[in-house]
Amino acid sequence: MTTPFGPTQIATVDAHGACLNLPDGAQFQLDVLEPTLIRVRHRPGAGYREPRTCDDLSGFSRPPAQFSQTAKGLTLATGALSVTVRLAPLALSWRDGQGRPLLADRNSSAYLHSPRTGSVRHYLQRDRADRYYGLGDKTGPLNLHGRRLRTIALDALGYDPQQGDPLYKHWPFVMTRAPTGHWYGLYYDTLSTCTFDLGCEHDNYHDFYRYVDIDDGDLDYYLMSGATPAAVIAQFVRLIGGTHLPPRWSLGYAQTAMGLADAPDAQEQLNTFIDRIEAEAIPCSAFHYGSGYSSRGKRRYVFTWNHDKFPDPKALNARFHEAGMRLVANVKPCLLDDHPAWDEVLAQDGFIQDAATAAPVVEQFWDGVGAHLDFSNPAVIAWWQGSLQRQVLDFGIDAAWNDNNEYAIMDDGASCAGFGRPLPMHRARPLHALLMTRASFEAQARHRPPQASSEPVFSVSRGGPPGVQRYAQSWSGDNSTNWENLRWNIRTGLQMSLSGLFNIGHDVGGFYGPSPGPELFVRWVQACCLNPRMVMNSWKPGSATNVPWLHPEVTAHVAAAIRLRYTLLPYLWQLFEQASALHQPILRPTFYEFPDDEACFADSDDFMVGDALLVAPVVQAGDTTRRVYLPVGPSAWYDFDSGERFAAGQWHTVPAPLGRLPLFARAGAAIPLAGGTPGGPGQSSRLRHDDPVSEWRRFGPVDGVPSTPTIDA
């Protein structure tokens, strides 16, 4: 049975926090870190079960708080946030800087642990008016109220885009809009699998509640509050280390496809792709090698090249560079049991092991069986970085695409080295995605080719916990090709942004399933052309591949959307800089920018790119108009192309023929644009990721009279 924390006694209390003694030597501690940030943690009597990521508090301002004590408990108040601790039974209640209730633990049995399973639960009161956001790459409507979701990461090929769970990330952060309109976030610093019940469960013996269940890990959470979602997200992202500013070329359109690299004549296919992208005058900044360069049949052997398919990969890679494209190569953290390096890694105890036998844990992987590398073993990190250098970077590849790194190991006895302190894998799975990505990032930083010597490092990771954004871009994984995925992926991208994962996108056109028809393909390209990541990636039956000329009758529309991206790259680059320096998301639901407009909280297909542009993609088959709500805040909104003025705070129906993406700028916006011109065949270099700003397009009235956009050279 589960056991409540307690009885509780005050051990110490001062202006920086409080420590409570629990039975069996356990402690419950509160630390005031910032005026709106307080840490709460439970240390079991036997010690923490997971390594702590933040035992050094010197990086925080630690402002003095006022504290008071009564027979029933104590209160700590910073002026912007206060917490009251009730001793029996243990429960916390929180108020904002104006003294209004913010959140509270459940009155009955707020903190429980299970001696049988090792799980820890934290129960909170729930208000029907609460709105919940976050948890990383979650599906469905943005407001997660009423759902039960897990943070365990899995390879979720073909997931349901509306209800599927879990996906690829372990991201135990939830942001709440309280009924008062104030915002707060809860980040549970644990690598163990978590289940977040946000209103599914109901028990007549308790009032409305929600909870998080931590599977055999530690309870260590941070509460941060703010008047807006922006204030909360910025605090969280600072806490987890900020966002890496990537090289500018990574903002351009990129192409990949399993079918190209899997083909028996892969090198010839890729040479043909280079010819075609130049002939179509479509700008392209990068090509991402799928794992087919390392495949034999369906089996994939990381850090090898199939020279039957790629007889001269260095020459091919040089040609990509000559065409202005950088290269990113897929790498995987599992060696199949017949991999040529198996014995070498085995001799270094380099695999995830069974704790009882010390044998590698061998499980299903990519049409075979294999063992995952242990990135908490320094010898493995050295082997990985050396192999990446010799077999990838020295071949002319610019960056690593860290894939299939969810570490979905099912063996209960699996354990990793833990840098000298062995850890069971159920407490370390997401850690390995982070360590793998960091190892690749560091190897690239040390061994960059001359053309990249002055650029930031670029990396991609499909999986990971909070912290992976310090190194890598990510995406929503292996989506399917249908209108439902187009529509619901928009929300998953926004959910990741609200979770503090800013450099994200989706597989344009859908990765899995049938090829998209012409209309769906155009609408998907339009919906994703202003995402932080724009990569066409697919795995289709036969020889079909998502490429811009997939349907010749609509290639002009596809190319126009890609060129729109390049025209707006100076604006997107500003947003990347703000994401890195100011912890602001690039993609934003409209309520992020306009939290006082209640209409913005309705489920919607619209989204903001930065603070100036509102995108209203078409996501229904056959639609040639679009109904869009333009929020209250600006004095008006303007059509980006025509300059037509639209009233704020109203619904509008606008034309949206197949070749048009409805795009609006708020009044007063000034948008920097690149001035390259597409030209004719062979002139795709006229639009590049590094084109300078050639004009500023300004939207707004002149002398009180609505006007078309003005252009400053």
Q: How confident is the model at residue 686 (pLDDT cuts 50, 70, 90)?
A: low
Q: Say what the pLDDT of residue 541 is.
A: 82
pLDDT(709) > 60: no
Q: Say what the pLDDT of residue 55 is.
A: 76
pLDDT(703) > 50: no
Q: How confident is the model at residue 577 (pLDDT cuts 50, 70, 90)?
A: very high
Provide the phi-psi class of 477: left if phi over 0, else alpha when psi is between -120 and 50, else beta.
left
How far apart are alpha carbons 139 and 164 in whole angstroms? 6
pLDDT(704) > 50: no
Q: What share of the chain is helix, strand, coil (3-state, %, to 5)?
A: 25, 30, 50
Q: Say what the pLDDT of residue 52 is.
A: 82
CB within 8 Å of 339: residues ≥ 6 apart: 301, 302, 370
pLDDT(707) > 70: no
Q: Say what the pLDDT of residue 681 is.
A: 41
Q: 77 - beta bridge partners? A: 66, 82
Q: Say what the pLDDT of residue 160 is.
A: 98
**225, 184 contact by CB (below 8 A):** yes
> How far, rounded to the nearest angstrom, does the alpha carbon of residue 478 sit from its chain's CA centroid?
14
Q: Say what the pLDDT of residue 680 is.
A: 43
Q: Say what the pLDDT of residue 682 is.
A: 39
Task: Tell me the two tokens of residue 132.
Answer: 């919940």
DSSP string, 235-259: HHHHHTT------GGGGS-EE--HH
Neighbours of 87 (CB within 10 A): 17
Q: 441 - beta bridge partners? A: none
How far apart are alpha carbons 77 and 243 in whole angstroms? 31
Q: Say what the pLDDT of residue 4 is.
A: 84
**443, 385 contact by CB (below 8 A):** yes
Q: Say what the pLDDT of residue 678 is.
A: 44
**280, 548 contact by CB (below 8 A):** yes
Q: Say what the pLDDT of residue 277 is.
A: 96
Q: Give the rounded percent of residues in the chain with a pLDDT score beyond 90.
A: 89
How far apart are alpha carbons 364 and 610 in whole angstroms? 42
Q: Which amino acid is residue 315, in one-letter code?
A: A
Neighbours of 204 (CB within 10 A): 5
- ∠ CA 321-324-330, nearest 5°, is 60
Kindly state the average pLDDT of the residues 6-17: 92
Neighbours of 359 (CB within 10 A): 12
Q: Say what the pLDDT of residue 542 is.
A: 79
pLDDT(676) > 70: no
How far apart are alpha carbons 357 and 465 in whole angstroms? 29
Mean of the per-residue pLDDT values for the chain? 94
Q: Say what the pLDDT of residue 323 is.
A: 96
**140, 21 contact by CB (below 8 A):** no
Q: 67 - beta bridge partners? A: 76
**312, 267 contact by CB (below 8 A):** yes
pLDDT(679) > 60: no
pLDDT(1) > 70: no
Task: Tell me the two tokens of residue 677.
Answer: 């011109």
Q: Say what the pLDDT of residue 100 is.
A: 95
In the chain, how many H helices and how many E strands? Answer: 12, 45
Q: Give the rounded percent of residues in the chain with a pLDDT score beyond 70.
A: 96
Q: Which of 206-210, 267-271, 453-457, 527-531 has the lowest mean pLDDT?
A: 453-457
Q: Say what the pLDDT of residue 687 is.
A: 80
- Is 513 strand, coil or helix? coil
At residue 536, φ and ψ (nearest 5 deg) are -85, 115
Q: For the chain, list the domains and their CATH numbers.
A: 3-239 (2.60.40.1760), 579-712 (2.60.40.1180)
Query: Each residue of 619-669: pLDDT tens digit?
Result: 999 999 999 999 999 999 999 999 999 999 999 999 999 999 999 999 999
pLDDT(705) > 50: no
Query: Each residue of 321-360: pLDDT tens digit?
Result: 999 999 999 999 999 999 999 999 999 999 999 999 999 9
How far apart are alpha carbons 202 and 208 in whole angstroms? 7
- Is 608 strand, coil or helix? strand
**436, 365 contact by CB (below 8 A):** no
**458, 328 contact by CB (below 8 A):** yes
How far apart are alpha carbons 472 and 247 in whole angstroms? 11
- ∠ CA 596-597-600, nearest 5°, is 125
Query: Each residue of 203-235: pLDDT tens digit?
Result: 999 999 999 999 999 999 999 999 999 999 999
pLDDT(677) > 80: no
CA distances from 128 to 123, 146, 209 (A): 16, 9, 10
Query: Each residue of 440-474: pLDDT tens digit?
Result: 999 999 987 666 668 999 999 999 999 999 999 99
**405, 438 contact by CB (below 8 A):** no
Query: Each residue of 234-257: pLDDT tens digit?
Result: 999 999 999 999 999 999 999 998
CA distances from 562 to 178, 527, 558 (A): 40, 11, 6
Kindly state the average pLDDT of the residues 54-72: 90
Q: Say what the pLDDT of residue 708 is.
A: 45
Kindly state the average pLDDT of the residues 672-687: 60
Beta strands 423-424; 194-197: pairing state: unpaired
**94, 102 contact by CB (below 8 A):** yes
Q: Which of 269-273, 653-657, 668-672, 686-690 has the lowest mean pLDDT?
A: 686-690
CA distances from 104 to 59, 219, 419 (A): 28, 17, 38
